[in-house]
Structure 1
């Protein structure tokens, strides 16, 4: 069984790297569809679009300003290629990630017709690029502050970092690791946990393969032509990371752990191992949030803190898997049953998540924020 699980892990990792490597042809193909739509127009309409005087930004200083719709499509191709260069660096660096995959396996997988990358996986790649802008770009600083800062401040007030008795903070659903990194910068012993390789690969790359601030340039917003004021907005660059991970104090205890939260932290050795659990946009990733509550209770000692912020966008609501969707009122009612006493609860200001600067469209959440203190142990319900 262990060998079978390892084989499945290899296949999963291989599929994600395949999605990374297919980003370039897939995205260029999509942009070429825009050209085909242009060429399908009447000649008079093509001439009008080509005669547009709105400037199209070019990436190299000294190049004359380009104008016209075809010039914009050419510049989109350029940004896609530049994104692909960073993704290829990322894939190359991470092919030995966890010792799962070698080059021959990747080549074999790439040549397999059954490994065709789905639109869903390509969307995950595009989401990962936007997530890098949110978590590790200066453009994402304001968005991060609206939700990360309340979490960090709540922990600092109640359990300030200590050199004599280290405070251990667990960040489940850590994504690209920025919140966990920020806790480590504050002086906490911090561990981030993430399940998705679409997040783990860029997190591993940015945390371990970065020599200077702003080393990598991405263009996260070129994949949709809708709701832009200008071409410059659509083609804007984001340079990551905005802080150098290696600047952490050499004595810092900071790690990222790959794996599904319930499996990794539901083990007996994790019982009472963490002083604080910090969850951000995480609890709605559960198929059964009550299991999450059981494990969060288990990893904390009596008096331990659970700080949470996020909406309730239940990720599996429209999937064939079993999923239980609860209202905020129902979740809050459950907390005492799972051994938590609320010390603070409020609704945070409206905020975006991987929002697009200068877009004409904005989706906003009004996340709930709470601080719960564990007051008693709660056992786990038996598996059906």
Structure 2
């Protein structure tokens, strides 16, 4: 039977694989544009830049140090190729896992085509997200937002060997928050829609053998706001913890799909004791639908813990989108069947930031703990 939904999913997956495949030529071309810009300068200016003796570290502890502006550009090329090697491994394992390794239609094309800048930005974001979620460098960011969520749940619903609470993590990204809950003994499921996140999460959760097995260079794609070339070329090693070290009895899974579509099904009603959301609610076109589904998957007395800003992802998009202030959203919670037990603001923090950068984008994430006190009927679609 022909399944149009499956065809659409495969088409999306192939688009993502194409973006993975395009990373190397696109990024090398972008770095070569820097090189060409150097050659457009007056010869006297070129000579001055080429006299610089600033230190340019090699890719590893035992590789020789280089010096100079031109060497920096050469080292960026090298790091791009190293990133591409890891991305290629990710794509290979995911194609095999989904049964697409023998399908010519699923293979990315090397034929001339227009590269999507938007998709390349998503690939670069995935590299930074790997640093945030699965490296020692990302620990500080995780502690500021994941730890308060986990601690809030543990105070109210501590794990039990007899009947571990079931925790759902929508918008799970690369799965680290869901993994952290599983490490504490909870039965945990992460949900993610984007294959730009699902490909690296599958790879890191299922295909790594040792701690810090893979080396990435997430910060090389922009030359702005760096104090040194070493900061720009900084290596990140993933994963910082081996997912396979989870207890053999751990119940931990990742589910692909759009949150409302997956969890509005009858079998998900009252199926979860806790919903934990992090930087998620602002991904909604209609946040009231998110609230209805969160209400539906929880039993009476179930917990919803949330942390994140309100950077509404579909604002100014061609599709309809409703943007609420925090005050409006908090006022809405009791109307949607929730009782607020705790509400505040977490400390200011970066998201996939690099501490050595001269520029910091900071969030002051809202934080709340709600308990479901009544059922909220799902409004019929228009």
**TM-score normalised by length of structure 1:** 0.97
Partner of 1:74: 74
Structure 1 match to 2:22 = 22
Please give the residue correspondences for 1:298-377 in structure 2 after superposition, counting only pairs within 5 Å.
Answer: 298-377=296-375
Match of 2:234 in 1: 236
198, 209, 212: which one pairs with 1:211? 209
Q: How far, CA to CA, are the matches of 1:139 and 1:62 in structure 2?
A: 21
Q: Is the 8 A contact 2:100 2:106 kept in 1?
A: no
The CA distance in 2 between the partners of 1:100 and 1:338, in whole Å, is 42
Q: Matches of 1:131 and 1:138 in 2, distance apart?
A: 13
Native 8 Å contact 2:283 2:314 kept in 1: yes
Q: How many equivalent residue pairs?
A: 382
In the TM superposition, residue 65 of structure 1 has moved relative to its aligned partner by 2.9
2:334 and 2:62 mapped to 1: Cα distance?
A: 64
Shift, 1:163, TM fit: 1.0
**What residue ranges of structure 1 are gaps of 5+ in the alignment?**
none
SS in structure 2 at match of 1:376: coil
TM-fit CA distance, 1:117: 3.0
Between 1:258-267 and 1:59-68, the stretch displaced more is 59-68
Alignment partners' CA distance in 1, 2:63 and 2:101:
42
Q: 2:296 aligns to what SS in structure 1? A: helix
Residue 48 of structure 1 corresponds to: 48
Deviations 1:16-70 (CA, angstroms, capped at 9, x unpaired): 0110011000000000000000011111111111110211111255554321111
* 61 and 183 in structure 1: CA distance in 2 versus 1, 3 angstrom threshold: closer
TM-score (norm 2): 0.98
**Structure 2 CA distance for aligned equivalents of residues 338 and 112 of structure 1:** 51
What's the secondary structure of 2:98's corresponding residue? Answer: helix
CA contact (8 A) 1:49 1:69 kept: yes
Aligned to 2:109: 110
**Counterpart-to-counterpart distance in 2, 1:105 and 1:363:** 40
Find the residue that maps to 1:345 and give its secondary structure.
strand
> Is the CA contact (8 Å cut-off) linking 1:275 and 1:301 kept in structure 2?
yes
- Maintained 8 Å contact 2:131/2:138: yes
Q: Could you tell me whether the CA contact under 8 Å between 1:58 and 1:66 is conserved in 2?
A: yes
Is residue 39 from structure 1 mapped to residue 39 from structure 2 by the alignment? Answer: yes
Contact 1:168 1:190 in 2 (8 A): yes
Please name the residue that 2:173 is paired with.
Answer: 175
Quote the Cα distance in structure 1 between the aligned partners of 2:366 and 2:222.
30
Give 1:64-103 correspondences, 5 Å limit. 64-100=64-100, 102-103=102-103
Could you say if the C-alpha distance between residues 7 and 53 of structure 1 is closer, same or farther in structure 2, counting changes exceeding 3 Å? Answer: same
Contact 1:233 1:357 in 2 (8 A): no
- Would the aligned equivalents of 1:95 and 1:103 in 2 still touch at CA under 8 Å? no
Q: Tell me, yes or no, if structure 1 residue 279 matches structure 2 residue 274.
A: no
Please identify runs of 4+ aligned residues in structure 1 that moved more than 4 A.
Answer: 60-64
Is 1:338–1:378's contact at 8 Å kept on the other side of the alignment? yes
Cα 1:188–1:365 change in 2 (3 A) is: same
* 1:13 maps to 2:21: no
Structure 2 runs not aligned, ≥5 long: none
1:85, 1:98 → 2: CA distance?
20
User: Is this contact kept in 1: 2:303–2:370, CA < 8 A?
Assistant: yes
Partner secondary structure for residue 13 of structure 1: helix
C-alpha contact 2:59 2:235 (8 A) present in aligned 1: no
**Equivalent position of 1:192 in the other structure:** 190
